[in-house]
Amino acid sequence: MLIAANWKMHGDRAFLTAYFEGAGALSWPEAQTHLVFPPATLLERAAEAGAAVGMVAGAQAIHPARDGAHTGCLSAEQVAEAGARWALLGHSERRAQGETDLDVAAQLEAAARAGLRGLVCVGEGLAVREEDEAEAYVLGQLAAVLALPAPALDALGAIAYEPIWAIGTGRTATPELAQAMHRALRERLEVAGLGGLPLLYGGSVKPDNAKALLSQPDIDGVLVGGASLDITAFNAIARAANE
């Protein structure tokens, strides 16, 4: 079970200190991996403080290139040096800024180069869902990634299904809807020989809906945005997986 916190553009040093102190005072289920994706400025500190409480740090985004004239960007090597072990790839808030499926595939190649695990995010917008095209759309987002040869594909650590209409809106996909998409993803991954890859759900996950989502057979974890900023709520989500 993989339980991941995406802080997005939230948090400062004081927040980080309180967060990991809080994490250390709580008990966490065993047989789970807990990931935290802080803003890049906090990555190094999060990697250190997270290690002390069993949480693994990751970068929210990486650039495909190793270095170069890319103002404001960070390479996989740079975030790895700062302590990242994972990278979020293709979050919908990044795709909304213009990242394409091919960019996401190139980022996974970069992650592999730097020894990072990639957590690739996919998910449809409301119009696609209403046109009944969600499954084809989401599987299409994965195609460029799954077309990569080893060793790039070996760096694929997990996939998060995050319907855009459920992110930060308070509107969660029903467990049945999420399970149906996860089943479709699993079947596609099985064809690629990756049937065991963890499939996370993301989109307004909270302590009170986590159990119903995490008890679905093809939901292997969650990627949590807003609720992950409260360490007690994030811990309750992790514990819900074992209830």
Residues that bind ligand PEP (CB under 6 A): 6, 8, 162, 167-168, 202-205, 223-227
Our CB check for ligand PEP shows the closer of 6 and 179 to be: 6
Q: How many CB atoms lie within 10 A of CB 132?
A: 8
Q: Which residue is nearest to ligand PEP (CB)?
A: 225
User: In terms of C-beta density within 10 A (0-12 exposed, 13-18 middle, 19 or more buried), how is residue 210 classed?
Assistant: buried
| Separation CA 141–CA 130 (nearest Å) | 18
Measured in whole angstroms, the distance separating CA 154 from the mean position of its chain's CA atoms is 17
| Separation CA 215–CA 1 (nearest Å) | 11
Give the shortest CB-87-to-ligand PEP separation in angstroms.
14
Whether 34 is catalytic is no
| Separation CA 107–CA 110 (nearest Å) | 5
Our CB check for ligand PEP shows the closer of 5 and 53 to be: 5
Our CB check for ligand PEP shows the closer of 5 and 152 to be: 5
| SS3 state of residue 25 | helix
- Name 119's Cβ contacts closer than 8 Å, sequence gap at least 6: 4, 35, 58, 86, 87, 88, 89, 157, 158, 159, 160, 200, 223
| Separation CA 76–CA 64 (nearest Å) | 7
Residue count of the chain? 243
| Separation CA 228–CA 230 (nearest Å) | 5
Our CB check for ligand PEP shows the closer of 8 and 45 to be: 8
Our CB check for ligand PEP shows the closer of 140 and 168 to be: 168
CA distance from start to end of the chain: 13
Give the shortest CB-19-to-ligand PEP separation in angstroms.
16
Active-site entry in 63, 91, 93, 124: 91
Give the shortest CB-190-to-ligand PEP separation in angstroms.
25
Give the shortest CB-173-to-ligand PEP separation in angstroms.
11
Active-site entry in 34, 109, 162, 182: 162
Give the shortest CB-158-to-ligand PEP separation in angstroms.
13
Whether 91 is catalytic is yes
| Active site positions, annotated | 91, 162
